[in-house]
Structure 1
Amino acid sequence: MLEPRGADSSMFEPATDDSARIVHAARDALSQGRIAEAMDAVERARPDLGLSDGQRASLNLTGLLGKLALGDLRGAAAYARELTNLMRVRGPVGAMASYGLGEFAAARSNADQAVSYFERAGQELASSRSPARPARFAPLPWRSGLARVLAGRGEVTAAAALVEAELADARATGTPYDIASALRTYAAIAATNRRVGLLDEALEILDGYAAARLDAQIRTDLAGWLLLLHPGESARAIDLLRSAEKYARHEELTPLLSRIRWLLERLGEAPDGELPGRLAELSAAERRVAQLIVVGKRNREIAAELGVSVKSVEWHVSHILRKLSITSRHELADALSGPRQPR
């Protein structure tokens, strides 16, 4: 999932109160990869009724993209409903709403709906341009979003043209984030022999720039292509994945973390090299529940054995998975059964 380009503050009214400043802080935290901080800011600002349409659009777009990064489609739906209400506003506000709804539709594998929303985002931005401010209202990577959907449908030529246009604009007027983000999308569409080079360029451009999630996504993509195309560089692929894994685990980004762990397994590596140390963070009750999960006990059976309620067991299980950055009981059993041996 791609965050909005380094959002241009000129799209929104100046921050004149605490709530408006929170809106800007939320957007900045998202683009820099501090997802938990971004979502906290979103939740603090949402009850405020004095926000402008632009600020509300920015806030709800940030919330939606943050929830998608966390793999929480249900949570994202609440922000999608707010953005649907804002589609009536023309120009940049409607563009933000349409772009967010496009990302939401894409996450739900609704390709036709995603195409419609992304195209509308582009149309709304185009309608807002004028000779006096031709680039002011171009902070959204709607072309990358549309290109990913079209490429998934086999329309690679049209997808490539969209990303090439976005990359050209980014190189002309964008930030390192803009350029690296466009390069990442281009690498997913370009000829196979160009992909590693494009991703290497993206990482080089981001060096020293605060964009932790985009950096981790690019590292994961690059590791995947190294595994497929250059198996002799497996050591580098593992290093890339370990760096991305540490970030994804810290921010609890389930979709990204699952992909990283899948690639590590293909490389014969045990996911999460820091797991043993974090096992010590479990309480005595949590360790007992974890041990019973490993031997195949269900929540109701665990509750009966420990003399507690099923709700209490469910609470312990959710805390165990969160502390260990593990997404399922199967992964927990696998992790606690002992370290994997390289294949």
Structure 2
Amino acid sequence: MFDSATDDSARVVHHARDALSQGRIADALDAVDRARHREDLDDFGHVSVAVTGLQAKLAMGDLRGAATYARELTNLMRIRGLVGAAASYGLGEFAAARGQADQAVSYYERAGEELQSVAGHPWVPWRSGLARVVGGRGEIAAATELIEAELADARTLDMPYAVAHALRTQAAIAPTSDRIALLDEALEVLHGTTAARLDAQIRTDLAGWLLLLRPDESGRAVDLLRTAEKYARQQDLGPLLGRIRWLLERLGEAPDGELPGRLAELSAAERRVAQLVVTGKRNREIAEELGVSVKSVEWHVSHILRKLSITSRTELADALAQPRQPR
């Protein structure tokens, strides 16, 4: 998305955008932090970084963090052409995430208007965002026209990510009988790519429809969710992980699978901290033993508890001692 900058300073911007499209959310935010205060970025570089940061924060469910980037986009929206279009699109995503449908529609429409003056502009999926909002209002004909236009453009551009993205949106507004086929097609389009987050989102959508429409394929639904769950947990994507866990519970499965698989996803530092927590050491004692700050230990403990789906240090010893059994 937004792939047009050519100067040397844009390399870090490309890195941030590539990390986001590949689903490496933490890496994308690290790159955004490095890029956003560079003095050699042009307006397009600034808007690209801000949109990337906003989308990464939204993926994590961090609306407050996303608001920081939304404020930057509000200023950039005044610039006509591609910069204003990209800023408007980002603000549309932010408004939609907050449930502000009218504002989202206005921003998405402005993005489309600004792009009309940009010849050969890069892919900006404003139609997809707008289609979801108007489709949610019951305006199915308008939503269908929007997403069919986006899908046609994506196929012309020969961008697997853009095609799969459009197919996922089309599945959300298409007749119920068509949704599984559209999501299967989206997964096939993404096969062999590195778009981990979009892949996980599509797998989760597909599992939900299999649960509803094809209960005899519950085994496939669980397999889809386990793959998506592993990714969402690694990247600490709360909103997506919440959907996955809800669906697993409807399928009679325990979230997170068995403990050995979850432990394998802890970093070496997290495993060492977990072992010391189990011995009864306090955060300050662990910090002294490992030679790190207390804040660093607190951060590790917080992530350990989330990854193991437990809520307190007192549960950690039991969690480490035995795998959780499916319900």
- SS of the equivalent of 1:105 reads helix
Residues 8 and 211 (structure 1 numbering): CA distance in 2 closer, same or farther, change over 3 Å? same
- State the 4+ residue runs in structure 1 displaced beyond 6 angstroms: 312-317, 332-335
Residue 170 of structure 1: how far off its partner (Å): 1.2
Give the one of 223, 233, 249 matched to 1:265: 249
Letter in structure 2 aligned against 1:57:
V
Residues 271 and 288 (structure 1 numbering): CA distance in 2 closer, same or farther, change over 3 Å? farther
Contact 1:33 1:213 (8 Å CA) reproduced: yes
Alpha-carbon distance in 2 for matches of 1:245, 1:30? 18
Equivalent residue number for residue 78 of structure 2: 88
Equivalent residue number for residue 151 of structure 1: 135
Give the one of 160, 164, 181 matched to 2:144: 160
Contact 2:248 2:255 (8 Å CA) reproduced: yes
Alpha-carbon distance in 1 for matches of 2:315, 2:94? 33
How many residues are aligned here? 306
Alpha-carbon distance in 1 for matches of 2:99, 2:279? 39
Alpha-carbon distance in 2 for matches of 1:327, 1:117? 38
- SS of the equivalent of 2:116 reads helix
Instruction: Please give the residue correspondences for 1:256-295 in structure 2 after superposition, counting only pairs within 5 Å.
Output: 256-276=240-260, 278=262, 281=271, 283-284=274-275, 286-287=277-278
Residues 287 and 262 (structure 1 numbering): CA distance in 2 closer, same or farther, change over 3 Å? farther
Alpha-carbon distance in 2 for matches of 1:75, 1:8? 22
Residue 45 of structure 2 corresponds to residue 60 of structure 1: no
Contact 1:86 1:94 (8 Å CA) reproduced: yes
Alpha-carbon distance in 1 for matches of 2:218, 2:230? 18
Residues 313 and 276 (structure 1 numbering): CA distance in 2 closer, same or farther, change over 3 Å? farther
Equivalent residue number for residue 322 of structure 1: 303
Equivalent residue number for residue 79 of structure 1: 69
Residue 283 of structure 1: how far off its partner (Å): 2.6
Equivalent residue number for residue 339 of structure 1: 324
* Deviations 1:7-35 (CA, angstroms, capped at 9, x unpaired): 253x32x1324xx2111110111111111
Alpha-carbon distance in 2 for matches of 1:177, 1:102? 20
Contact 1:254 1:327 (8 Å CA) reproduced: no
Alpha-carbon distance in 2 for matches of 1:60, 1:178? 20
Letter in structure 1 aligned against 2:137:
R
Residue 153 of structure 1: how far off its partner (Å): 1.5
- SS of the equivalent of 1:329 reads coil
Alpha-carbon distance in 2 for matches of 1:198, 1:325? 32
Give the one of 227, 230, 239 matched to 2:223: 239
Which deviates the most, 320-329 or 65-74?
320-329
Instruction: Please give the residue correspondences for 1:1-343 in structure 2 after superposition, counting only pairs within 5 Å.
Output: 7=1, 9=3, 11-12=4-5, 14-17=6-9, 20-129=10-119, 136-276=120-260, 278=262, 281=271, 283-284=274-275, 286-287=277-278, 319-323=300-304, 324-325=306-307, 329=311, 336=319, 339-342=324-327
Alpha-carbon distance in 2 for matches of 1:316, 1:229? 46
Letter in structure 1 aligned against 2:324:
P
Q: TM-score, normalised by structure 2?
A: 0.85
Q: TM-score, normalised by structure 1?
A: 0.82
Alpha-carbon distance in 1 for matches of 2:299, 2:107? 35
Alpha-carbon distance in 2 for matches of 1:228, 1:252? 27
Alpha-carbon distance in 2 for matches of 1:145, 1:328? 35
Alpha-carbon distance in 2 for matches of 1:75, 1:176? 29
Alpha-carbon distance in 1 for matches of 2:294, 2:33? 28
Letter in structure 2 aligned against 1:228:
L
Residue 157 of structure 1: how far off its partner (Å): 1.5
Letter in structure 1 aligned against 2:8:
T
Query: How many percent identity over aligned positions?
Result: 61
- Give the unaligned 5+ runs of structure 2: 284-292
Residue 47 of structure 1: how far off its partner (Å): 1.7
Residue 216 of structure 1: how far off its partner (Å): 0.7
Which deviates the most, 89-98 or 246-255?
246-255
Residues 253 and 341 (structure 1 numbering): CA distance in 2 closer, same or farther, change over 3 Å? closer
- SS of the equivalent of 2:253 reads coil
Residue 198 of structure 1: how far off its partner (Å): 0.3
Residues 316 and 21 (structure 1 numbering): CA distance in 2 closer, same or farther, change over 3 Å? closer
